[in-house]
Amino acid sequence: MSKGITSKNDDYSAWYNELVTKADLAEHSAVKGCMVIKPYGYSIWEKMQAALDKMFKDTGHSNAYFPLFIPKSFFSKEAAHVEGFATECAVVTHYRLKNDGNGNIIVDEDAKLEEELIVRPTSETIIWNTYRGWIQSYRDLPILVNQWANVVRWEMRTRLFLRTTEFLWQEGHTAHSTAAEAIEETERMLNVYADFAENWMAMPVVKGIKTANERFAGAVETYCIEALMQDGKALQAGTSHFLGQNFAKAFDVKFTSKEGKLDHVWATSWGVSTRLMGALIMAHSDDSGLVLPPKLAPIQVVIVPIYKSDEDLAKITEFADNLHAELKAKGISVKYDDRDTQRPGFKFAEYELKGVPVRIAIGGRDMENGTVEIARRDTKEKQTIAQDGLANRIEALLEDIQTNIYQKALKFRSENITEVNSYEEFKQVLDGKAGFVSAHWDGTPETEKKIKEETKATIRCIPLDNKQEEGVCIYSGQASTQRVLFARAY
């Protein structure tokens, strides 16, 4: 393991970049803007996928797979959609390379596509073009489909996990016979995301609605979950869109209702991406490395033997093997690290960097005393405890860590939602501790835009359970009926 990383208080951005790289989560690739997700990083993503996939299936969804490529003409069919994505998409124009005779491999101009293909930035268009063939009657509805896929949005400035040209995600695309049912689905999936963020990622989120400016290109309403990072910036962690009949109209998808009436189908789409990896890292980690909630940690417990003789090691190994078996039976993932090429101190630092929630160290003296040293990653507390009943204690400890990480993040967020009543105050908070700033806004896109230009803060959302209160817009002085949440954001 290499030396420590920059302190997050000194340079949050450097801290993040170094952590992602040094903890073996991801790295930049030779392809501009595209990342390599390394095995350790990917194993966390796999745990996220498994949990989310189960939640999707438990709410009645099935997975399917649609083409990577979208014909350019499909893009143009939904006006707002193409407006939103045209300026950042990878375009396939040819289907063959050739040798130019001098040993150079060049594009074969004889293999030019009649119609360019876009590498999907999101799949509404290709999916709704497909759904046209699947839907005739109300009996074919609802369609509740999800896709796990890679997507490409050409980004000029990228950051590992947070903003990359290619990223992995899931995109749900559902079709319904009524607006009410589609809205219910939109909200259901928002709740699934919030549940996942809070109960798996241990990351509190605000559920809300985006303003028109921040809406998904083609949506009638965009719901979102917004999280707060430790540097006081917000991060959009997931979105769920009520698409109305926009895509059904663009792709002519109609159904016959029970009453025999022909109508366009109602749609939703919703997605979360590998961006969640960035959120997970930034929400909890510290200067020693990752802090992972136990539910998403690929290794939940590491056992490190500390020994002076082979005899010591043999005894410790026997004990560790039994503990390993006991923990495995409880569904807890354990690593026993008896490498003789590294010292315990090196191993301790490595597992701190990797965010392993519980570390158990066992020495010769421990074996005599019937004890172990147990260290939790979140608080860095160490304790010597009895070997008797250890597996149960560890199980309880993992639950405690999961809760504690969440509570810590919740406390941080509570302390960093600030109500302000003037534009001066607003700017002071933003330039100070930042966080979410709750302020009155006149409801116009113009004001929102100006505030963004002047302060780089955007309206993260109008919280779902928002209190209605009379006030005046901090910028325009116009009347307002509710506060909205502003923040600078990733």
- What residues line the site for a second copy (CB under 8 A)? 27, 29-31, 34-39, 42-43, 45-46, 62-72, 74-76, 82, 86-99, 104-105, 107, 116-119, 126, 129-130, 133, 139, 145, 149-150, 152, 154, 166, 168, 341
Q: What angle do CA 213, 214, 220 make, to 5 degrees?
A: 85
Only one residue has tokens 């006006």, namely 79
**C-alpha–C-alpha distance, residues 71 and 227, integer Å:** 35
Element (H, E) at 62: strand 62-63
Provide CB contacts within 8 A for 261, sequence distance 6+: none
CB of 428 to a second copy, least distance (A): 39
Q: How far is the CB of 109 from a second copy (least distance, A)?
A: 11
Q: How far is the CB of 123 from a second copy (least distance, A)?
A: 11
Residue with tokens 């707060």: 228
Least distance from C-beta 157 to a second copy, angstroms?
14
Q: Give the shortest CB-21-to-a second copy separation in angstroms.
A: 11
Residue 349 or 437: the one with the smaller Cβ distance to a second copy is: 349
What is the residue-wise DSSP string for 296-329? G-S--EEEEEE-SSHHHHHHHHHHHHHHHHHHHH
Cβ nearer to a second copy, comparing 76 with 317: 76
Q: Which C-beta is closer to a second copy: that of 290 or that of 473?
A: 290
183 versus 276: smaller Cβ distance to a second copy: 276
* In the complex, least distance from residue 37 CB atom to a second copy, rounded to whole angstroms: 4
Closest CA to 485 of 301, 476, 467: 467
* 9 versus 342: smaller Cβ distance to a second copy: 342
Q: What are phi and psi of 303, to 5 degrees?
A: -110, 125
- Closest CB to a second copy among residues 341, 468: 341
Return the structure tokens found at 175: 């079709």
Computed from CA positions of residues 56, 61, 62, 66, in that sequence, does the dihedral angle turn out positive or negative? negative
Q: Choose between 14 and 111: whose C-beta lies nearer to a second copy.
A: 111
Q: ∠ CA(441), CA(442), CA(446), 5° rounding?
A: 100
Nearest approach, Cβ of 205 to a second copy (angstroms)?
Answer: 25
CA distance 35 to 31: 8
